Structures are given as structure tokens and as C-alpha cells.
């Protein structure tokens, strides 16, 4: 394998890797020489993603909000590869609700998926992560903006950003780097799913593009390139930070 590949010989785990940014990252990681484990909740989508990615990828059905599933996930990686060099906690999401219309279920579901699941995914991965590994946490521009209806989602992503800081301190003795990535509006199936139908989805995308100084949505491949940077030795002196890949949306 060529030494020019940025992730040659590395073993990576991407949670929520069956579509969108997760799949875009997996494609880039494989192209740069990594062996990639991806997770998803639906076997058919996992199988389809792995078929796209080829022989250097393996899909494991896993729900990141389930402690038992996480235990099984890391037991499988331990048995098959014995270590991890890169962990990207991509799985997450959430619905939006205005202050005054927030339910306990909305809060619990959002924080379980974005905060609790991120915490326990990383904690359970620690025995497998080699010293000097790279952990990348999926945050969002919503964590530092103040958009209406985003209070619970934004707070959950701000918590993830905080994890990148505190875990950098917790893991400095092992030289493990922890960074957050915060994409702006990105053209993914998840974004399309925000619309009630195709026409509304297109309307949402067109509006979001107007909020980006570059005048368009990002692509999963563009986010994937930034993730390769954070996963590789190119970012060897970068830890505890937040990399915005947002076309300027949260910057100006």
C-alpha cells in the first residue's frame, strides 16, 4: 500500500456510516488506505453501504443509544482488528421545536442520541484506541449559533463541543487527539428528510443555501476531506479544537 495514502494501515470506526456525511467520510477514509468499520441500525442499508465501499469496510448493526449494542460493537472490533486508530462519532440527529413547545421526550431523545451516546461510544472505545489515536466528534454550527427552534439540538451539540475540550485534557497522557467537526448545511438524505415532500425539501435546501456565504450547500465528500485531515498525521498538532466546515455560515 502506498505510503502517500494519509490513512494507510489505520483502522477506523464511523458510527452512523450508512448515508450522508458518515458514508462520505467512509469513502474518503477507504480511499486513503484505512480499514473502516461503519455502524447503522438497519441491516439492508449497512449492506448497501459496504457494497459501495468495498473490501476494506465492514458493517456492524448497532444502535449507539444501546449500551448492549455498543459492548457488542467493540467486542467485534477487538476480535477482528484488535485496535482502533480513528473514531468518528457521527451518529446523531434531532428534531426541532420552539421554546414553549419542547416536550420531555424531545429533550431526552435529543440528548440521549447526541450527548449520552457520544460519551459512552468514546468511553467504551478507550481500551481499543491506541496511544496517539484521533477521536473526532460530530458537532454542528447549531452549537454556536442562536437559531430559533434549535435550543435543545443546539445545546446538545454545544455539549459535544465541550467534550472535545475536556477529553483532550483527560487523554493527553495517551497523546490521543480529540477534535470536533461542525459542518454547515450539507446536502444529505437527512436534510432532505426535513421536508414533508420533495418540493418542501427543495425549498428548505434553497433557503439554507442563502445562509451560506459561499452560496450553496456543502457535500458529504467535502466534509469527508476535512475529516481525513483530522484523522491523519496532517493535523498532528491540533487537538481540543472545533473545525467549522460550513462555507462561512457560522463565521460571518
Q: What is the DSSP string of 187-206?
A: --HHHHTTSSSHHHHHHHHH
Residue 153 is among the residues annotated as catalytic for this protein: yes
Percent of residues, the chain, with pLDDT higher than 90: 92
pLDDT score of 183: 97
Which residue in the block uniquely carries the three cell numbers 454545544? 158
Q: What is the mean pLDDT of residues 28-34?
A: 98
Which domains occur in the chain, in start order? 11-183+221-245 (3.40.50.720), 187-217 (no CATH)
pLDDT at 192: 80
Largest CA distance in the chain: 56
DSSP H stretches of helix in the chain:
20-31, 43-53, 67-80, 104-111, 117-125, 151-170, 189-192, 198-210, 220-231
Task: Using alpha carbons, list the distances in angstroms from residue 179 to 28, 50, 56, 185, 227.
Answer: 18, 26, 25, 20, 10
CB burial class (10 A; 0-12, 13-18, 19+) of residue 241? middle
> Which member of 74, 153, 167, 244 is catalytic?
153
Distance of alpha carbon 180 from the chain centroid: 9
pLDDT tens, residue by residue, 40-54: 999 999 999 999 999
> Rounded to two decimals, what is the model's pTM?
0.96
Amino acid at each position: 500500500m502506498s505510503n502517500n495514502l494519509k490513512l494507510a494501515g489505520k483502522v477506523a470506526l464511523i458510527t452512523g456510516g450508512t448515508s450522508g456525511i458518515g458514508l462520505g467520510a467512509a469513502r474518503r477514509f477507504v480511499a486513503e488506505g484505512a480499514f473502516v468499520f461503519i455502524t447503522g441500525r438497519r441491516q439492508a442499508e449497512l449492506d448497501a453501504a459496504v457494497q459501495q465501499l468495498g473490501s476494506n469496510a465492514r458493517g456492524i448493526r448497532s444502535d449507539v443509544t444501546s449500551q448492549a449494542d455498543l459492548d457488542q460493537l467493540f467486542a467485534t472490533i477487538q476480535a477482528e482488528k484488535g485496535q482502533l486508530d480513528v473514531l468518528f462519532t457521527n451518529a446523531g440527529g434531532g428534531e426541532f421545536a420552539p421554546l414553549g413547545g419542547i416536550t420531555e421526550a424531545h429533550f431526552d431523545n435529543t440528548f440521549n442520541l447526541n450527548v449520552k451516546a457520544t460519551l459512552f461510544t468514546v468511553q467504551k472505545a478507550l481500551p481499543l484506541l491506541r496511544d496517539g489515536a484521533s477521536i473526532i466528534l460530530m458537532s454542528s454550527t447549531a452549537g454556536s449559533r442562536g437559531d430559533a427552534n434549535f435550543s435543545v439540538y443546539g445545546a446538545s451539540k454545544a455539549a459535544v463541543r465541550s467534550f472535545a475540550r475536556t477529553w483532550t485534557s483527560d487523554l493527553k497522557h495517551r497523546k490521543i487527539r480529540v477534535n470536533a467537526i461542525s459542518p454547515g448545511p450539507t446536502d444529505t438524505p437527512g436534510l432532505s428528510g426535513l421536508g414533508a415532500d420533495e418540493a418542501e425539501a427543495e425549498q428548505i435546501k434553497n433557503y439554507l443555501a442563502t445562509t451560506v456565504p459561499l452560496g450553496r450547500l456543502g457535500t458529504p465528500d467535502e466534509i469527508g476531506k476535512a475529516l481525513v485531515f483530522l484523522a491523519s498525521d496532517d493535523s498532528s498538532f491540533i487537538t481540543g479544537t472545533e473545525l467549522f466546515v460550513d462555507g462561512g455560515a457560522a463565521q460571518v
